[in-house]
Structure 1
Amino acid sequence: MQRLKTRAQFEAVMAGGRIVARTEHFALHRAPLAPDARPAAAPGPTGPEPPGSPALFVVRQEPWLGAIVPKRWARRAVTRNAIKRQIHTVSLHFEADLPAAAHVVRLRAAFDRAQFRSASSEGLKRAVRAELQRLFSEASR
């Protein structure tokens, strides 16, 4: 599974994609890989593609994934990083079921601070993992 890295990649998925699955706290956006994406090839003598290149994705027969965890919904950096790690870990279990497209998992609501006092508590990690498993299983149907 490839990871989305640039702002342009995230914007392309969010603008051209549609929501394929949703839970209480997460939404999964999917966009087909752009037809102008260049095929995967060995790096040439000139090195990597220069910035500003029109191709956003290297076409491979595998899904691309990115995670958006806004500060609005997860105030502490430790919480945002823990949620992103969970997203990428759970997505690996569903990689074979996802189509070769670009996906973005977006946190769309905050977890209750009264229920999860610690930013990286085991309870929060279990709740996030369970919800992400539901999200990916719904998307893979």
Structure 2
Amino acid sequence: MQRLKTRAQFQAVLAGATVARTAHFALHRCALDAPAGALPLFGLAHDVWIGAMVPKRLARRAVTRNAIKRQIYHVSATVQTSLPPAAHVVRLRAGFDRKEFVSASSDKLKAAVRAELEHLLQRARAARP
């Protein structure tokens, strides 16, 4: 599994299709052979690429953003064999309730994020092209 690093890579994937959504996350996918300019951005066309977007407006504290990103990369690494060789971006699209998750990096928040990400990736496997 490779990680997306450049702005151009993220923009290419976000221009692709949204393949799955949950209450807090959206998964975008871009086939590596689909757009004409995508292959030079990603190099290895037979690999799974993953990126995480956690906007500051939805998760104000850096510790929360980093914890969510770590969960995204961890869960996607465990299911990478079931994902098609493509570039994927998991995007936080709604913030978690601060009244329910008081601590910025609590085990309760991490478990909720992990469960929702597993559900998101399960839906993405069902929507496999």
Under a length normalisation based on structure 1, what TM-score does the superposition of the two structures give? 0.84
Contact 1:37 1:59 in 2 (8 A): no
Provide the C-alpha distance between the structure 2 equivalents of 1:60 and 1:28, rounded to a whole number of angstroms. Answer: 19
- Summarize the alignment of residues 1-141 of structure 1 with structure 2, pairs less than 5 Å apart: 1-15=1-15, 17-34=16-33, 35-36=36-37, 55-141=40-126
For residue 56 of structure 1, give the secondary structure of its aligned residue in structure 2: helix
Aligned letter for 1:94?
V
The structure that is helix-richer by fraction is 2
> 1:115 offset after TM fit, Å?
0.2
Q: Provide structure 2 residue ranges, at least 5 long, that are not aligned to the other structure.
A: none
> 1:36 offset after TM fit, Å?
4.7
Provide the C-alpha distance between the structure 2 equivalents of 1:104 and 1:37, rounded to a whole number of angstroms. Answer: 14
Q: How many aligned positions are there?
A: 124
Contact 1:79 1:119 in 2 (8 A): yes
Moved beyond 6 Å, runs of 4+: none
**Larger of the two Rg values belongs to structure:** 1
Identity of aligned residues (%): 65
Under a length normalisation based on structure 2, what TM-score does the superposition of the two structures give? 0.92
Kindly tell me: are residues 24 and 37 of structure 1, through their superposed partners in 2, closer, same or farther at Cα, counting changes over 3 Å?
Answer: closer
Aligned letter for 2:4?
L
RMSD: 1.2
Contact 2:71 2:110 in 1 (8 A): yes
Q: Provide structure 1 residue ranges, at least 5 long, that are not aligned to the other structure.
A: 39-54
For residue 24 of structure 1, give the secondary structure of its aligned residue in structure 2: coil
